[in-house]
Structure 1
């Protein structure tokens, strides 16, 4: 930064980053001043570039979240799930879903390896801890979303399953896990409050959220256009002061050569 102190007659002094310009030739001093001003413009231009990069990242993020919602919107199943009441509850539910899914994966692997055998009725028993978690989130999300898990006549379920039900149940758990991850990601990274989705999620809500994300992306692009104008101005000033500094050095050198020759 340029520092100017006590500019007052013979007492005046000028320094740049601790370099005293008072005893320098006017051309050298002027060249250094113009270099300092050029540096200030370059620093500001760099700041604009960083801000534009950040805006581009935000715009891309908003569009990615909008694309995820369009994909979600294409699957009618999204309207069937009853969402957990809060983001924290949703994260806790996701943890349980992932845990139960892993139990299913382990059981499937054990069945394939022949280390897990069915009972005399051809049923496999789900561990008690996994069964408790399963009941918790299935009851909240809605039994209709888990037909292979709640396969009894009264739409309730127990912890015994045929192999085909384990296969189908695993797919249902994977689908619900992906659904929760998607909603959590959109809420956290797209700055969309969970309550805007509705419960269950409504089509109109999804359309409104997609439009909001698109609008935010457009705002980022619009801001970047403004920043680009400022950037071009600063770079123009930078080039001008660099050129001016070079001219000052050349003029000083020419003057010195002329004095030496005379």
Structure 2
């Protein structure tokens, strides 16, 4: 393939721009803030689930408190009725004695139920405190997610802005290369991991980094100025410059 030196040199400018575009794409994929955001989002989801479960536990404990309170009140009401009957003196001595015995039994039962109620209430308060702690942690996680989301948007926007500028520069450089040479460059670039053209510098290929042998150097030295030469090792287009060492 033939192409004047000016068009071949432009390939180096194009390659520099394409390399920068690849770097920007890699940078966007590997933004540290993206990993941080994913971790924070996962923490928020886990905390949200904990809050739901803690809320259910609080609801269960509140029902237990209501049930315990109802049981205590039932005994109190029964004891109040018995006391009223006892104080009225209505009934036989045996009946009054039975009421006295029942009041003593009810008093013991009330004490037991009140102790149980106190324990249930303490447990309910502990569960409420745990729920409040988890809700605070969830709110903190939500704030962190929001903050990281803003940071990521800003960093992505900065990358996008630079990418647009590089793409504009590329659009100005590419047309001056010529369709045939540009097509070869694009094909090689796709095959060789993003690098389609490299400078021959100090007898080394700027693409694969290998030093060319004497036979390859002689071949390139003998090639016409407008001849497009390629590295025998990596097959990239080699651009001859004043620093090629030929």
TM range (shorter): 0.3 to 0.5
- Normalised to the residue count of structure 1, the TM-score between the two structures is 0.37
- Normalised to the residue count of structure 2, the TM-score between the two structures is 0.39
Q: Please state which structure has a larger fraction of its residues in helix.
A: 2
